[in-house]
Structure 1
């Protein structure tokens, strides 16, 4: 089983309310909140570095724009006092933000990522992080994505989109783990 260095940072990506309603399509992972909250609780209990990423859209009609109800974090996912918040307006948590600088200043070379959506902001952040030289761990069952139109009148189910993106990320960009494996690596016997 892969190990997780003591100073590895957990990065929660776009765990926001907007994704529960239109215009966003159907999601598939009904355990995303449970698994994400278990990761946050274990990380906090271990006193390890934790960074929250929020998408602040610059599009005026976006459900993710600052001030819109959907911009808020899902219950339990907002930063607590002393926890870092990085805001972004594009898919990658590293582009147009100080995330890389924050990690470098803390001497962090390993990041553990989860969030919404697997194929967009999570995947892009994994790829950019790996290209910046970070060791990236993706917690696959603490991610979620949406059904998407295939451009030919059909729909690609979210579960298949997730599966394909996780396979690509595993092949070249990240170590892929499940929540229970991460908790085990932290020494947490049961989900918190």
Structure 2
């Protein structure tokens, strides 16, 4: 199977053909990571903090990508999974205690990863076009990876899931950690390149190149949907 050579790293840049990707739609889950009000909205949460700090201008391309590409493609994937009765799951940063004492040390530290988002808060909710529906799994995490410190892997095993389609933000942190966690547990992973975003396009592209083929297959939204359609009854 051909791959987008943009996302081939040093290790695979001389490889021309790769094995075809196979999957069972009944054993495939969508995992949407951290597309929450806190991080996506332009008039709330982190965006307000960036504006107050005088850093908003450099974050505009990130939010443009979210609004114009990432959120629409996640909605497209979400609708497709729902229409075909496939498993849908969400991973979100959210703590159980209002004081945040149940957060991991990294989320209590100073700097970029320091955040306190309670499960019941508006900030914790998935952005409105991606609101979870009944029977869809929502995993609360206080770490980067959806697989670390949660029961997500156990739930996937109980449901017989073998392949996970991962989307969300940010590519080089929570998305990448989740992809690696899933891969290390023996699951097949597809990371949807135009349904993810990093703070910069450079970081996004670099992380996808690092992960591709080794930890996941990097595909576009349309490629992912067409692949699944091949295996639908």
Could you tell me whether the CA contact under 8 Å between 2:94 and 2:116 is conserved in 1? no
Q: Deviations over 1:57-112 (max 9, x none)?
A: 53688363434432221112121011111111100101111100001111111111
Instruction: Looking at secondary structure, tell me which structure has more helix per residue.
Output: 2
Unpaired runs of 5+ in structure 2? 2-20, 42-46, 51-55, 101-106, 109-113
Counterparts of 1:52 and 1:167, CA distance in 2 = 24
Unpaired runs of 5+ in structure 1? 147-157
TM-score normalized by structure 1?
Answer: 0.84
Displacement of 1:56 after TM fit?
A: 0.6
Q: How does 1:57-76 map to 2 (within 5 A)?
A: 57=95, 58=100, 62=115, 64-76=117-129
* SS across alignment from 1:76: helix
Q: Runs in 1 of length 4+ with deviation above 4 angstroms?
A: none
Cross-structure match for 2:38: 18
Could you tell me whether the CA contact under 8 Å between 1:63 and 1:71 is conserved in 2? no
Pick one of 9, 21, 29 that aligns with 1:9.
29
Could you tell me whether the CA contact under 8 Å between 1:52 and 1:84 is conserved in 2? yes
Number of residue equivalences: 177
Q: How does 1:1-192 map to 2 (within 5 A)?
A: 2-6=21-25, 7-19=27-39, 20=41, 21-23=47-49, 26=59, 27=62, 29=65, 30-57=68-95, 58=100, 62=115, 64-146=117-199, 158-187=200-229
* SS across alignment from 1:129: helix
